[in-house]
């Protein structure tokens, strides 16, 4: 989940002040929480995650996602030829505020997922369905460079920063449905923590480039299949880049890519199993419907997958903004 893109409008100061007062100077867009039965966690595609924003902005949104494709398990899991079709709905809320004189953003999202899975378990064909609440995520980000805490009026008068750099911390909580006696689950039954740093560069008020780097750290799953095993996962590093273009008032499009690697697993203290080395690419279209409402449509797919989910994903999100 994430923030978002800022699109400034109205070149005259008086118009910009009036637009800021009615929330018309920006279009903030939520990221879609990615829901998978075995979350790779590093696979998010989040353009404009560290954009400059005025403080005091509240936004709530709902996102729908459909994913389909194959699940590639490591050799210790006796599942082969696995395919899945997943659906997910995420409700999210966020707010910008001042933290030490810098712009900060807090986000929280709760997903619900349902889907069907097919594959071979120990050479036996099987089909299962799952539905339930997924793992909740919360994120706190802070813009350290180019993102001072400004009121909507001051933000409308200020020149757009060319460079914005920030840090964030994302937490994944084990709230999702999980059956320790089953291999396929919606929830991961563990905590996840992801520190990240990012930098964004804008030029000509049209183009915007992003580069982020971070890593997920996971707690132990003490009741892994068949319910009595302990499973640990090494840190999962990620690097993502985005190039976006503002083509109309409050509307923009982006090309996205991410690479994540590491995350080898250990069961009951045994040797490490398969290590991930996966890449995803995608496109995104963000449309400002009104000064306070926006829609985002995205598509992504696994360009290469070693272990994890090799999904094609289509997602649609709607958001409402208020001060």
Residue scoring higher pLDDT (301 or 18): 301
Domain count for the chain: 1
CA distance to 164, 297, 314, per residue, from 88 (Å): 32, 15, 11
pLDDT of residue 217: 96
The two most distant CA atoms of the chain are separated, in Å, by 70
C-alpha triplet 315, 316, 321: angle, nearest 5°: 135
pLDDT of residue 43: 62
pLDDT of residue 45: 83
- Predicted confidence (pLDDT) per residue in 210-255, tens digit: 999 999 999 999 999 889 999 999 999 999 999 999 998 889 999 9
Confidence check: pLDDT of 33 > 70: no
User: Could you check whether the bond before residue 226 is cis, i.e. omega within 30 degrees of 0?
Assistant: yes
Report whether 237 contacts 212 (CB < 8 A): no
Quickly state the pLDDT bin for 314 (edges 50, 70, 90).
very high
Residue scoring higher pLDDT (186 or 3): 186
pLDDT of residue 262: 92
| N-to-C CA span, the chain | 21
Return the CATH number at 56.
2.40.128.130
Q: Which residues contact 308 (CB under 8 A, 6 or more apart)?
A: 36, 38, 40, 43, 71, 72, 276, 278
- Predicted confidence (pLDDT) per residue in 114-165, tens digit: 999 888 877 778 888 999 999 999 999 999 999 899 999 999 888 888 999 9
With H, G, I as helix, E, B as strand and everything else as coil, classify residue 155. Answer: helix
Q: Which residues contact 87 (CB under 8 A, 6 or more apart)?
A: 64, 65, 66, 67, 113, 114, 115
Dist CA 264 CA 271 (whole Å): 9
Report whether 192 contacts 218 (CB < 8 A): yes
- Predicted confidence (pLDDT) per residue in 63-119, tens digit: 999 999 887 776 666 777 888 899 999 999 999 999 999 999 999 999 999 999 888
**What percent of the chain stands above pLDDT 70?**
85
pLDDT of residue 117: 87
Q: Exposed, middle or buried by CB within 10 Å (0-12, 13-18, 19+), for 142?
A: middle
Quickly state the pLDDT bin for 6 (edges 50, 70, 90).
very low
Dist CA 42 CA 281 (whole Å): 13
Q: Which of 95, 108, 73 is nearest to 1 (CA)?
A: 108
CA distance to 70, 88, 153, per residue, from 85 (Å): 9, 10, 46
Q: Which of 156, 171, 154 is nearest to 98 (CA)?
A: 154
Q: Exposed, middle or buried by CB within 10 Å (0-12, 13-18, 19+), for 75?
A: exposed
Distance of CA 35 to the CA centre of its chain: 10
Confidence check: pLDDT of 12 > 70: no
Backbone angles phi, psi at 155, to 5 degrees: -65, -40
C-alpha triplet 184, 190, 192: angle, nearest 5°: 115
Dist CA 182 CA 225 (whole Å): 6
Residue scoring higher pLDDT (79 or 174): 174
- Quote the mean pLDDT of the chain: 83
- Predicted confidence (pLDDT) per residue in 264-276, tens digit: 888 898 888 778 8
Bridge partners of residue 268, in order along the sequence: none
Q: Which two tokens stand for residue 316?
A: 């649609």
Q: Which residues contact 90 (CB under 8 A, 6 or more apart)?
A: 1, 32, 33, 35, 62, 63, 65, 109, 110, 111, 112
pLDDT of residue 185: 87
Quickly state the pLDDT bin for 205 (edges 50, 70, 90).
confident
Domain enclosing residue 211, as ranges: 3-322
pLDDT of residue 13: 43
CA distance to 172, 196, 286, 288, per residue, from 217 (Å): 10, 12, 31, 35
């Amino acid at each position: 989940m994430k923030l978002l893109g800022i699109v400034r409008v109205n070149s005259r100061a008086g118009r910009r002040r009036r637009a800021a007062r009615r929330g018309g100077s920006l279009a903030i867009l939520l990221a879609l929480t990615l829901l998978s039965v075995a979350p790779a966690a590093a696979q998010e595609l989040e353009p404009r995650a560290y954009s400059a924003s005025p403080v005091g902005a509240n936004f709530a949104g709902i996102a729908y996602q459909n994913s389909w494709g194959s699940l590639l398990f490591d050799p210790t899991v006796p599942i082969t030829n696995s395919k899945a079709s997943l659906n997910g709905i995420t409700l999210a809320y966020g707010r910008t505020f001042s933290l030490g004189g810098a712009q900060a953003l807090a986000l929280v999202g709760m997903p619900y997922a349902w889907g069907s899975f097919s594959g071979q378990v120990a050479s036996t064909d099987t089909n299962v369905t799952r539905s339930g609440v997924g793992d909740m995520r919360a994120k706190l980000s802070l813009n350290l460079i180019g993102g001072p805490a400004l009121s909507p009026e001051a933000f409308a008068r200020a020149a757009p920063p060319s460079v914005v750099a920030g840090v964030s911390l994302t937490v994944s909580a084990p709230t999702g449905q999980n059956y320790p006696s089953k291999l396929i689950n919606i929830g991961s039954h563990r905590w996840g923590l992801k520190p990240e740093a990012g930098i964004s560069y804008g030029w000509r008020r049209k183009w915007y480039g992003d580069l982020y780097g971070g890593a997920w750290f996971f707690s132990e799953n003490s009741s892994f299949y068949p319910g009595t095993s302990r499973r640990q996962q090494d840190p999962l590093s990620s690097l993502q880049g985005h190039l976006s273009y503002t083509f109309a008032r409050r509307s923009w499009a982006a090309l996205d890519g991410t690479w994540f690697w590491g995350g080898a697993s250990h069961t009951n203290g045994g040797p490490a199993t398969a290590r991930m080395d996966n890449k995803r690419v995608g496109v995104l279209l963000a449309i400002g419907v009104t000064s306070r409402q926006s829609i985002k449509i995205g598509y992504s797919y696994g360009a290469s997958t070693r272990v994890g989910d090799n999904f094609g994903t289509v997602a649609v999100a709607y958001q409402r903004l208020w001060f």
